[in-house]
Amino acid sequence: MSNNDLVNAIAAGNLSIFQKLSLQMQEFNINWADDKHGMTYLMVASDYGHAHIVAYMLENGGSFDMVDVDGITALWIAATRNHVESVRLLLEKGADPNCQPSNKQKHAFPLYIAAQENHVEVCELLLRYNADVDQKCNGVTSLEVATHKKNTNIVKMLQTAIERKNEIRRKEIIANIAKAEIEQEKKEEKLREDTKIWENLVALI
């Protein structure tokens, strides 16, 4: 019995075989990673798009934060493969939607790839879980690559997300200005009170 047997069971989408084999192993570790590439069971399940196995891994202690030798996560793999249900499961558990491999020149981030490849549902999920619309790959944003590829639905989606983000920023700026004005008014009021007290003291002398 070896870890490769478990990997093969995952690749085949056979959860029951995986469970049986794992029980037969002396030291089973659900977060095992192969020595050569650093691939975990969860990454393999994400790669093949077997959402039921992804769910099982996540429910039984599988770590979505682990990275392979290139700094790639299970979410990155699922997103780039357009495995929508696996992406949803990973995001629900808290996987980082802005994850990016170590070699940023070679590998883009999930939102950029979804925008480039016209993976509409994956893009929608990433945005729902606060993917950064300002993030860039080699100086190019997700909106710019979607526009270049003429992926109209994603362009509209990203434009809406950017508008929403800008509106939030605008409200934050207005709120900060209002807060600063209130603080300034308090300072001026305190100064007026101190001045009045001083004037009263002077009048008594």
Q: What is the pLDDT of residues 128-170, one digit of tens each?
A: 999 999 999 999 999 999 999 999 999 999 999 999 888 877 8
pLDDT class of 205 with cuts at 50, 70, 90: low
Q: Measuring CA to CA, which residue among 21, 91, 20, 24 is closest to residue 51?
A: 91
Domain range 1-96, its CATH number among 1.25.40.20, 3.30.700.30, 3.40.50.300, 3.40.50.2000:
1.25.40.20
Average pLDDT, the chain: 92
Residue, of 2 and 80, whose pLDDT is higher: 80
- Report pTM: 0.82
The two beta strands, 140-141 and 136-137, are: antiparallel
* Cα distance between the two ends of the chain: 98
Q: 97 pLDDT exceeds 80?
A: yes
Summarize pLDDT for 40-90 with one digit per residue, the tens.
999 999 999 999 999 999 999 999 999 999 999 999 999 999 999 999 999
Domain range 98-205, its CATH number among 3.40.50.300, 1.25.40.20, 3.30.70.100, 3.90.1170.50:
1.25.40.20
For the chain, the structural domain boundaries read 1-96, 98-205
